[in-house]
Amino acid sequence: MVIFKDKDIVEDPAEDIEIVHKPNDAREGPVHTLLTKLMDEKSGGSYHNTDPNRGHLSSSDGCKRRSYLNYIHKLDEDLDVPPNDNNTNWTFKHGDVIHELIQELLVENLGDEHVTNEETVDYDLGDQKYIYGHADIVIRGLDDVDRVNRALPENIALSPKDLSGFPDPFVIDIKTTSEFTYYNRGKKGHARSTPKESHLMQLNGYMGIIGAQFGCLLYYSKRNDHIEEIWVQFDQELFEDAIRNIEIVLDSVETGTPAPKDPDGAYMCERFCKWYDTGKCPGAEIADDNPNFEGDDTEFEYEDPEWD
């Protein structure tokens, strides 16, 4: 059942409509049950964190302990991976649908000779370790407005004011989010949201491997169906930070030594980490202690691990 910011539902006006019938107070009947089971079955697993030598740019920033636990819970057959709840599965699927629609629109209208979807990125870290993943969209050969317009349908034309041309290559990373602003009470108005540091690092990683000097974070708001784009210039130092973070996690997995607990902020553990939520991690020092955690900080430490 959906929770409305921890507040109780005090009234259901639908009860006063004679021809309306609810399956239960939560409004969750057989259709809901069927879809829940089908979504759970459809979600399945992921190839992420299944190879102890393979790192992913999607986890190049954020808590290294969380990344470590993501690996070992898939690599140790005696450990279970907590499944996503149904709301999370629907959230991921919603994001997938938005990704696929945007990708299809660009390929259909600019041509697959200019647009590559889910382009493979592969980066050798040495010692049999490597980074592997897929960039959402890479655009090539559309570096001036005239060329863009020739690629578009005749009824669509972009002026130099609309578009200065795409750098070549140009990497686009699509992110779905709730909304783009928050209310700044001190200034009595809405403030623009900024791109997450993890998003910047992930996109910058794709750009570094592909060889792009510019990329774009394309944000889609699920609250008001609005799109915003933020262009990002390649940063070599940020790229090296991403590589270093991934290497730290892979080295930790190789030796069986739990990686540092370093979430981005005091509330990351409680709000966003399933390992904290399920009592597999005590949380970082900057967060509240987890009352469900019964182990110690060496609980998931391995001596000479053999990951098959």
- Asked whether residue 73 carries a pLDDT value surpassing 90, the answer given is yes
User: What pLDDT is stored for residue 103 in this prediction?
Assistant: 97
- Asked whether residue 290 carries a pLDDT value surpassing 80, the answer given is no
236 versus 24: which is more confidently predicted? Answer: 236
What's the whole-number mean pLDDT along residues 281-307?
84
166 versus 248: which is more confidently predicted? Answer: 248
Q: Which tens digit of pLDDT belongs to each residue from 32-54?
A: 889 888 887 777 667 888 999 99
User: What pLDDT is stored for residue 1 in this prediction?
Assistant: 55
246 versus 15: which is more confidently predicted? Answer: 246
- Asked whether residue 204 carries a pLDDT value surpassing 80, the answer given is yes
User: What pLDDT is stored for residue 8 in this prediction?
Assistant: 78
Cis peptide before 169 (omega within 30 of 0): yes
What's the whole-number mean pLDDT along residues 249-255?
96
Q: Which tens digit of pLDDT belongs to each residue from 5-27?
A: 557 778 888 888 888 888 888 88
Least confident of 112-121, 182-191, 196-205, 226-235: 182-191
- The pTM score is 0.86
User: What pLDDT is stored for residue 293 in this prediction?
Assistant: 82
Q: Which of 68-77, 188-197, 220-229, 270-279 has the highest mean pLDDT?
A: 68-77
Query: To the nearest whole percent, how much of the chain has pLDDT over 70?
Result: 93
User: What pLDDT is stored for residue 302 in this prediction?
Assistant: 93
Q: Which tens digit of pLDDT belongs to each residue from 264-279?
A: 877 788 888 889 888 8
User: What pLDDT is stored for residue 47 in this prediction?
Assistant: 81
39 versus 235: which is more confidently predicted? Answer: 235
Confidence of residue 162 (pLDDT cuts 50, 70, 90): low
User: What pLDDT is stored for residue 169 in this prediction?
Assistant: 94
